[in-house]
Amino acid sequence: MEQIIHDPQDLTTLSWSKTRNSSGTAGSFLKAQEVTPSGKMFYKLSDYDAFHGVIGHESVNEIIADRLLSILGIPHLSYQLILADILVDHKPIRTWLCASHDFRQRGERKIALDDYYSLNRMKDESPLAFCIRNGWSEYIWQMLVIDYLILNRDRHGANIEVLTNRYRKTVRLAPLFDHGLSFFFHTPEESLEKEDVMRDKPVQCFVGSRSAADNLKLIPKDEFPCLNPLKETDRSILFNGLNGTISEMRLTLIWEMIWRRWNAYENLRNQG
C-alpha cells in the first residue's frame, strides 16, 4: 500500500460527519467511510473550521506516528496520507486527509475500553489494574511510551478499544490508533519558535495521569518494553515524502521532540 498519495484523489462522494459508529474514530474531527473492494475504509480530516476550512495538520501527525511505531516495532493501525478533493458543507476543498482499513476481524464487535472496564471491573479496581489483570500490560506499557515520545494528548477511554468475539470467546485490544492530537497540533506557525519540546503538557490518559512523563513511571523497572532502538538516521524515514505537507520548522521541531524524548526515555529505562 502506497502510504502517501500526492496525486489529488476525487473523494467528493464522501459524506463527512462529527460522529459515526465505526472503529478507530472516536473524537470530534470530521470523519467519513466507504465500502471498497478491499473492505471498509475510514477517513478523517485534520481540524476543520466552518469558516476557514481545514486548519490543522493532524493527518500528517498520524503518518509520522505510524512510521515511528513501525520503527520501534509496536503493533498499530496503519494509515495512508492522501491529497484529496472533498466536499464539506457543500464547499469544495483540497486537503490532506488520512485513511485506514477496518482492523476488526470477522465476527468481532468493538467496545470502548472505558465502557468495557465499567462493565467488568472489580470493586475499587483502577483502569490500570484492570488492564494488567486482563493480560494487557505489555500493550499498555508500549502505549505509554509512544504517547510520551509524541506527546499524545488524546488517549481517553474510547481511543483504546476492546474487540470481542462471542463465538470464538476471544477478547483482545485493538491495535494502537488515533495519534493525530500529538506533537504541536494546536500551535500556530508563528508560535512554533516558542515551543519547548520537553514541556510536559496536560494529557488525557484513561489508564494513567495527566502527565505523559509521570505515566512512564507506572511501568515496572523489569517490564520496560523491548523496543527497536531509534537512530538519528531514522529522521529521513519518518519524514520521507512529507515536504510541502507541513512547514520545515514544524518537521524540525517534531524530530527534536521525538529524539530528545527518546533519549530521556532510554535514560529512565537504564536507571537501576
pTM, full prediction: 0.94
Residue 6 has pLDDT above 60, yes or no: yes
CA distance 77 to 70: 10
Model confidence band, residue 20 (pLDDT cutoffs 50, 70, 90): very low
| pLDDT for the residue 49 | 85
Are 23 and 101 in contact by the 8 Å Cβ rule? The answer is no
Residue 1 has pLDDT above 80, yes or no: no
- The architecture in CATH of the region 109-270 reads Orthogonal Bundle (1.10)
- In 3-state terms, what secondary structure has residue 96? strand
Domain boundaries, the chain: 4-101, 109-270
CATH fold of 4-101, please? Phosphorylase Kinase; domain 1 (3.30.200)
Report which secondary-structure segment, H or E, holds 250. helix 248-270
Segment 231-257 shows an average pLDDT of: 97
CA distance 125 to 191: 42
Question: How does 46-80 read in b/e, with b if 16+ C-beta sit within 10 Å?
Answer: bbbeeeeebebbbbbbbbbbbbbbebbebebbbbb
Residue 69 has pLDDT above 90, yes or no: yes
Of 23, 193, 27, 51, the closest CA to residue 109 belongs to 23
Residue 255 has pLDDT above 90, yes or no: yes
Percent of the chain, pLDDT > 70? 96
- In 3-state terms, what secondary structure has residue 176? strand
Structure confidence by residue, pLDDT tens digits, 257-271: 999 999 999 999 998
| pLDDT for the residue 60 | 98
Residue 27 has pLDDT above 60, yes or no: no
